[in-house]
Amino acid sequence: MMKKRLFSLFGALLLSTQAALAEPLLKAEKLADGVFGLIGSTAGRLHENLGLNANYGVIDTPDGAILIDSGASASAAKLLSDEVKKLTGKPVRWVINTGSQDHRWLGNAYFAAHGAEIIALERTVATQRRLGLGQIEALRPALREQVDGLEPMSAERPQAADQVALQPGGRRIELRYFADAHFAGDSVVWLPKEKILFSGDHIYVDRLLGILPESNSETWLAAFRQAIALQPQHIVPGHGRVCDSARAQRDTGDYLAFVVKGTEKLAADMAGVDVAVKGLGAAPEFEHLLNFSDLHKGNVSRAYLRFESGQ
């Protein structure tokens, strides 16, 4: 009887594992005519998921497809290209980068080699050029051979203005910078007719955002508020499910406000980083978010230290 139970349990686990492996790395969600979100995993960067633990966007036009963000490697870019072809029947003609974190732009070279134009703001490109080589080496332990030969490539003719209206393939798109967020120079893609926001890393849902050494929590909160003020009907966040403004507010806006308000006051009092982490360490309203226990205290620490330094 015990052997039968063990074999039954093993079989169930095997089937569960096989089912998980069979799931697509990106799930397409139609948002409007010719507009799609490609929703990636909320897990970490893994060799198995090609580092595609983020969300991307696809916009169909008569002249070819627009891809929002390009993945962290040529392997990831190839998969994105295949997904775009499935959805639109067309190749990627334009790639828009919303930011400078690896999975937003390191696939650019693949698409450029296949004839696509890379589009980004000057602010975004400046950060990409500063961080690119280091990001590739940081990816190597997880992605291994997937980053062999990978070279950082940014837009050759970046957009100088902080807000630009584009019409690739005749489709009106706005690329907007509000303030430095997860990374300096982060931007959003706004479709004014459809009222769809591709937020890049301004917005996280379902999982906790990460305040990195490159992040500025205070200006990130200001940028978030300006993005939400567009009153989008659909938001494709940088990570997590497609959502509305209320969900984005709960999972990103409220969390940033909690961290900013708490650390700003404690830094003004020169309380010390240990006091800040201890005092703000309990945040039960956000504990349901994936990665809370791994990221929250570090987020508080880095936000506090930035305020204390006056940066």
| pLDDT score of 50 | 95
Residues 155, 98: Cα–Cα separation, whole Å = 12
Residues 158, 121: Cα–Cα separation, whole Å = 5
Q: Are 197 and 205 spatial neighbours (Cβ–Cβ below 8 Å)?
A: no
Where are the domains positioned within the chain?
25-246
Q: Are 208 and 290 spatial neighbours (Cβ–Cβ below 8 Å)?
A: yes
Q: Are 189 and 104 spatial neighbours (Cβ–Cβ below 8 Å)?
A: no
User: How many Cβ atoms from other residues are within 10 Å of residue 100's Cβ?
Assistant: 30
Residues 206, 199: Cα–Cα separation, whole Å = 15
CA dist list (Å): 286 to 15, 181, 283, 292: 33, 20, 6, 7
N- to C-terminal Cα separation, the chain: 66
Residues 88, 232: Cα–Cα separation, whole Å = 24
| pLDDT score of 20 | 45
| pLDDT score of 2 | 42
Residues 4, 9: Cα–Cα separation, whole Å = 9
Sheet strands side by side (includes 234-239)? 163-166, 173-176, 188-191, 196-204, 234-239
Q: What radius of gyration do the chain's Cα atoms show?
A: 20
The pLDDT tens digits along the chain (311 residues) read 444 443 444 444 444 434 444 578 999 999 999 999 999 999 899 999 999 999 999 999 999 999 999 999 999 999 999 999 999 999 999 999 999 999 999 999 999 999 999 999 999 999 999 999 999 999 999 999 999 999 999 999 999 999 999 999 999 999 999 999 999 999 999 999 999 999 999 999 999 999 999 999 999 999 999 999 999 999 999 999 999 999 999 999 999 999 999 999 999 999 999 999 999 999 999 999 999 999 999 999 999 999 998 77
Q: Where are the alpha helices (DSSP H) in 23-90?
A: 74-88
Q: Are 260 and 223 spatial neighbours (Cβ–Cβ below 8 Å)?
A: no
Find the farthest-apart pair of alpha carbons in the chain and give their distance in angstroms, rounded: 72
Phi first, then psi: give them for residue 117, nearest 5 degrees.
Answer: -90, 135
pLDDT digits (tens, 9 = 90+) for 26-44: 999 999 999 999 999 998 9
Task: Assign a CATH topology to domain 25-246.
Answer: Metallo-beta-lactamase; Chain A (3.60.15)
